[in-house]
Structure 1
């Protein structure tokens, strides 16, 4: 019997300009599988067994390239050069005023109107073995989207355990700049074939504080707020939907959860979140070395986009985005996103899956 290859490559589609987009499949055990496409260096599919052994895709996305090109929803994408928002699409860096391309009202969001999620990345390594991996490269020119410095960015997807996917980012710059990269996957641990939402998923966060926002989702000019006594207290497990309709000004601002949670201090990669589906028994632990975790409960999914056999509606999935805090280039009181030519940007996140009893 010939053992199935742990990694395979193929053409996923062709861009309007004629360039091919590849898909790389990393195979683990018991059906665990990650599929990555070179358009946006995106996690296109993630197959995970449930408590009964049935395998299903647990991330939103599309089965065809045209939909990724047509609809910019960040499904599974590598987001940069700066994930999340920068207020007023401007900041000061080393005394110079940097003006960005606004694409979220007056603000810059996820790298502007043509961020890393819209770029064709290059595969520079694909490794077989017990921990198969693929590394993708994108070189962002100096001044792209008005950001200073040429930025050489690499992202590596690797299966680092039987049901464990690690995503590692690195970047070097030729000039002082700001960098904040993340993966923007939308998770539903019921599996997409179930046709259910995530409001009953139980969420636990290693965060005692969060950033309150204004009506445009920019952090307020105040220190992080304590989660205690608010709908943002996930220090113990709570269903995502248990307090999502609370009469709370911050819930109204985000139309649900769309907030940065300030992770507890710690060295290196540490546990930041645990998400559990009572229906399927799937459990996902998220470990990261980043200072923040943006929680987005799919508030703006409105059925105008569909994929993988279903229309995506509000709270069909949840994003857990490890990253720097939003608007950090304008907030010296926040952890710094500054990158100099002498330094290397690094970010590692681990998605560790297991199963518990299903209802």
Structure 2
């Protein structure tokens, strides 16, 4: 079932509900996921994502709650890159760097939305065309993102894009998850996993040094589920650089499934993630301040965790990372599936 509620400024709020009661709420502005209700071990449906109490707060949304990110997710060093012998200057919006598509990235645009309902699935097809030169990027980029909710409590995001010129592209979604339900607890008691043997080293400005480090023997070894609070309390230079938590890119191990996951022992909620992206940025909301009015409570450090499946923009300046250049003869097609169950 799909419900549609028109709002001010041509914003529309969509609700997609399956027969189990699982409910996804999305704004056409920024493709923002404002709520995702999932059952716990007792069948209680609760919101498991961070969202603002007042929808108008999404106009700024400096933390990118629930938003689609593009053209390039992550930080581009010095807001520039060279492609085919030409240097492109992008808009800087984090010091001298370009973050998450810049100040007018995909999180700030109105998407065209089509709804669909089938036997086992329902969802939204969001479309946007990024003009040549928008944000400083070359080429006209046509993007379609499909949000699908299934009857077996899976939420899939399919990203598709084509371009008329070579251009960097890696898209993601910036939802902050907290499986306690209703933000009753921080993520410190929740357990996370990432199927990865390598992660990126960052400098003081959270820019990749180009060096890959081994996860094994470090707090970044998440190849099996680990309690996040134990990681936060571990002294490690890379954790301290990121504000006492994780804000790093992990390269997925080949042929491992699932690619990532989150588990809340108290509620029994388990989320597993599969993706054909080469890796993800794991962000444990280390920089979240206490002043934001969220739907259920005030914001706080470690209140949510982002699984930003993507390639990595460090490939624009360093070798050894998956390429993010999309060519005119190619179609960008990446999918990430979040599966919800009880453990």
Q: 1:266 to 1:94 in 2, by over 3 A?
A: farther
Aligned position for 1:192: 182
Structure 1 residue 244, shift from structure 2 partner? 1.3
CA contact (8 A) 1:289 1:349 kept: yes
- 2:293 is the alignment partner of 1:306: yes
Give the match for residue 103 of structure 2.
113
Q: How far is 1:193 from its partner?
A: 5.0
Q: Secondary structure at the match of 2:15?
A: strand
CA contact (8 A) 2:186 2:303 kept: yes
- From 231, 254, 277, the counterpart of 2:242: 254
Gaps of 5+ in 2: none
Aligned pairs for 1:317-356 within 5 A:
317-356=304-343
Shift of the alpha carbon at 1:162? Answer: 1.8
Structure 1 segments unaligned to the other structure (5+ residues): 1-5
Provide TM-score, normalisation by structure 2.
Answer: 0.96
Q: Indicate conservation of the 8 Å contact 2:313/2:324, yes or no.
A: no
Secondary structure at the counterpart of residue 25 of structure 1: strand
Q: How far apart, in 2, do the equivalents of 1:342 and 1:303 lie?
A: 47
1:9 aligns with 2:19: no
How many pairs were matched up? 342
8 Å contact 1:292–1:324 — kept in the other structure?
yes
Match of 1:176 in 2: 166
Work out whether residues 14 and 65 of structure 1, in 8 Å CA contact, stay in contact via their aligned partners in 2.
no
Report the 3-state secondary structure (helix = DSSP H, G, I; strand = E; otherwise coil) of the residue aligned with 1:242: helix
Tell me the residue number matched to 2:22: 32
Q: TM-score, normalised to structure 1's length?
A: 0.92
- How do 1:79-90 residues align onto structure 2 when only pairs under 5 Å count? 79-90=69-80
Q: Which residue in the other structure is 1:230 paired with?
A: 218
2:114 and 2:126 in contact (8 A); partners too: yes
Runs of 4+ aligned residues of structure 1 deviating over 4 Å after TM superposition are none
Alignment partner, residue 200 of structure 2: 211
Computed over aligned residues only, the root mean square deviation of the Cα atoms, in angstroms, reads 1.4
How big is each residue's C-alpha offset from its partner over 1:256-280, in whole Å with a ceiling of 9 and x where there is no partner?
Answer: 111011101249xx52112100111
